[in-house]
Structure 1
Amino acid sequence: MILDLNLDGENSLESVSKMRGVKPDILILIYTMYNDDIHVEHALLIGVQGFITKESSIDEVEKAILAVGSGNTYYNSVASKVLHTLLPQNKGKHSVHNEKSYLFDNYKSLSKKEKEVFIHLAEGLDVVEIAKLLGKSEKTILNQRTAVYGKMFIRDRHDLIEKAKLLGLLF
């Protein structure tokens, strides 16, 4: 399967486990515009067989498809660098990577609804707007915002926006 990371505004990596539940031996090649450490790391940690960006030449896309299709792995240079930092002997050597990894682990701990609230807050919406958009009560959104701030160790709105940018959720 060739999978883009952003389909209909959803993070496709979250569907990988569902796909593997139906077809455990599915081979997955990520083909995406995202080339930041967090997206690459998440893809690698869930065990995709290949990762290339849309900046890749047609020749590299062909190589990746053929490699993954025949049961091998293929990672472009960006993914290879991140993979290298994940190797046990390289753990702890890259402090920015560790900070992002820690942030991403915190983000993964959010529920699906909390992630939605996090993204809407980062986009500048307030509690009333988010409640209306999601069809929830303001109290529910306030509770989810509190959970997001606690799980993500967010101090204020500025901190929330900076973390959303580091996660690659805002540009």
Structure 2
Amino acid sequence: MVEAVLFASATPLSSRQIAERLPEGCDVQEALAGLRELYASRGVQLVRVGDGWAFRTATDLGFLMSHQVVETKKLSRAAIETLAIIAYHQPVTRAEIEEIRGVSVSSGTVDLLMELGWVRLGKRRMSPGRPVTLVVTEAFLDHFGLSSPKDLPGISELKAAGMLDNRPGLDGLGSGRTEEEDGEDGDGAPDSLV
């Protein structure tokens, strides 16, 4: 039943959402563990996406799906930078994004990321003006094949892959949040900026 519910769903489902569709007394966690093991060596695998579960093509077979990917619009450099800052520093305010980037953030950039469903409004900060924060969504995690923001690559991994140059100062970025904030919103985002 869990397998059927997950295959029929267009979006990842949480354990609670799955349990609501099953008869009383079903052990959803046990069923998910069994399905994950059953599909581990197949072309389709059960993966965790944020708080939800979904079937996805095995990573080693992703190249088979490349012809089905349609790229309708490329993100601007400003949008990519803003998205990276939000992902690595979440929850982050617009002012903090501007401080990191060194330029003001266009409302159109944030609007575009929200329209894509990759960014959403988070909690308000308990600071003067009570600014709203921005965080990434499960759609962002799903698009990039991540279970949680903790799975984002770190600076050393990106440098090793040749995606970052060795500019001075990169290693010092990313400690903008306190442990208290991490515990408050529970998003589990890593504390490094790329």
Structure number with greater Rg is: 2
TM-score by structure 1 length? 0.28
Q: Larger relative contact order (C-alpha < 8 A, sep ≥ 6)?
A: 2
The answer to which structure has the higher helix fraction is 1
What TM-score, normalized to structure 2? 0.26
